[in-house]
């Protein structure tokens, strides 16, 4: 008997970094997934995309989850965890959060434990904290819940209702980044300029609230303006990069309403919105210039799990 879980990837539409410091962030689950299979074993093993993982640093986050769940529910933590991912690592699309959420859900299913979103998020955050140091929790929340949400530390996520499906354009710069390093960079800016940073955090929070209104209303042109404004602020605090700025400018030149980095920055990906008639041509234009780009239909579902013999 084995348990299987699938969790979506994600894009932070607005509010990354400032969400760590108390701002609202707007996040969307994306259709690309991580699939995790968990089976009984005589010891802990992790297999990633068909390769046995031996690097202790990569094993530690999953091991922490298994140990935390074993302690909470008096379980045996020995099992084989097999991961298959459609999400590039270091791309700012929630690869680690999706994996941690799927691992938690699959382990609970295998051991016959009934868990809700709160419990899944709690244990997934154990792994995320091991990886990133001080994550906000937004990635874990959106990968667990799915859909589109407004997220603020200490508050329950607010679901955003869309009128039909919408498309986000996602493009990977090809440069991986370290979330932990970028979080430290922003925290350093806060320490140097506390009053200025407080004002930027309040503004970022308002941008996320306005972006949610425009997305819910189907006003993609207005949403695009929010994206570009958010990118300018993120660039000003030093978390963009020449590659990301180039990608943003390229998306705009191809006809996007707006674009911005998504996730930690310093590399990773951008997210953009465009008129319905131009979405595919924007994606094609980005691909023609050597970037991995795709259209992501939202809303996408959250984590799900099941048993198989």
Q: Provide the pLDDT for residue 5.
A: 98
Select from 10, 9, 11, 8 the least CA-distant residue to 271: 11
Q: What backbone torsions phi and psi does residue 135 show, to the nearest 5 degrees?
A: -75, 155
* pLDDT tens digit sequence for 235-251: 988 899 999 999 999 99
Give the C-alpha separation, 194 to 183, whole Å.
Answer: 16
By DSSP bridging, strand 2-14 and strand 79-85 are unpaired
177-227 confidence digits (pLDDT tens): 667 777 777 677 788 878 888 999 999 999 999 999 999 999 999 999 999
Q: Span 166-298: which CATH code?
A: 3.30.70.890
Q: Locate 196 and state its tokens.
A: 């200025």
Question: Which CA distances in Å does 225 have to 13, 64, 196, 207?
Answer: 12, 41, 23, 10
pLDDT score of 88 more than 90: no
- pLDDT, residue 47, reads 95
- Which residue spans of the chain are classified as CATH 3.30.70.890? 166-298
Q: Tell me, what's the pLDDT at 177? A: 61
Two structure tokens written together for 240: 């963009």
Whether residue 75 contacts residue 111, with contact meaning beta carbons closer than 8 Å, is answered with: yes
Closest C-alpha to 249, from 239, 258, 240 = 258
What are the residues whose beta carbons fall under 8 Å from the beta carbon of 66, sequence distance 6 or more?
A: 44, 77, 79, 81, 103, 107
For residue 153, count CB atoms less than 10 angstroms from its CB and return exposed for 0-12, middle for 13-18, buried for 19 or more.
middle
Cα separation, 103 vs 35, whole angstroms: 9
Torsion of CA 303, 168, 241, 228, to 10 degrees: -130
Strands 269-273 and 166-172 come out as antiparallel
The yes/no answer on whether domain 2-159 falls in CATH 3.30.230.10 is: yes
Beta strands 45-48 and 79-85 are parallel
Q: How far apart are CA 61 and CA 76, in angstroms?
A: 17
Where does the chain hold its CATH 3.30.230.10 domain(s)?
A: 2-159
pLDDT (tens digit per residue) in 2-59? 999 999 999 999 999 999 999 999 999 999 999 999 999 998 999 999 999 988 888 8
């Amino acid at each position: 008997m084995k348990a299987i879980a699938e969790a979506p990837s994600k894009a932070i539409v607005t509010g990354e970094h400032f969400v760590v410091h108390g701002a609202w962030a707007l996040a969307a689950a994306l259709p690309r997934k991580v699939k995790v299979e968990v089976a009984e074993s005589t010891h802990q093993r992790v297999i990633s995309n068909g390769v046995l993982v031996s690097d202790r640093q990569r094993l530690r986050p999953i091991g922490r989850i298994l140990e935390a769940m074993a302690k909470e529910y008096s379980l045996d933590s020995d099992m084989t965890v097999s991961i298959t991912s459609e999400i590039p690592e270091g791309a700012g699309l929630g690869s680690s959060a999706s994996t941690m959420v799927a691992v938690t859900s699959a382990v609970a299913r295998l051991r016959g434990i009934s868990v809700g979103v709160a419990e899944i998020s709690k244990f997934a955050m154990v792994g995320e904290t091991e990886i990133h140091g001080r994550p906000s929790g937004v990635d874990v929340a959106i990968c667990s819940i799915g859909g589109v949400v407004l997220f603020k530390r200490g508050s329950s996520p607010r679901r955003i209702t869309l009128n039909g499906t919408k498309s986000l354009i996602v493009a990977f710069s090809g440069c991986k980044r370290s979330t932990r390093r970028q979080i430290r960079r922003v925290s350093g800016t806060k320490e140097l300029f506390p009053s200025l940073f407080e004002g930027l955090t309040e503004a970022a929070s308002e941008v996320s609230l306005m972006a949610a209104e425009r997305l819910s209303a189907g006003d993609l042109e207005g949403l695009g303006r929010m994206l570009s404004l958010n990118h300018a602020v993120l660039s000003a605090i030093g978390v963009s990069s020449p590659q990301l700025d180039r990608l943003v400018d390229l998306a705009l030149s191809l006809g996007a309403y707006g674009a911005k980095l998504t996730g930690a920055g310093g590399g990773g990906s951008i997210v953009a919105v465009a008129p319905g008639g131009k979405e595919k041509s924007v994606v094609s234009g980005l691909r023609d210039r050597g970037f991995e780009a795709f259209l992501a239909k939202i809303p996408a579902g959250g984590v799900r799990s099941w048993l198989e013999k």
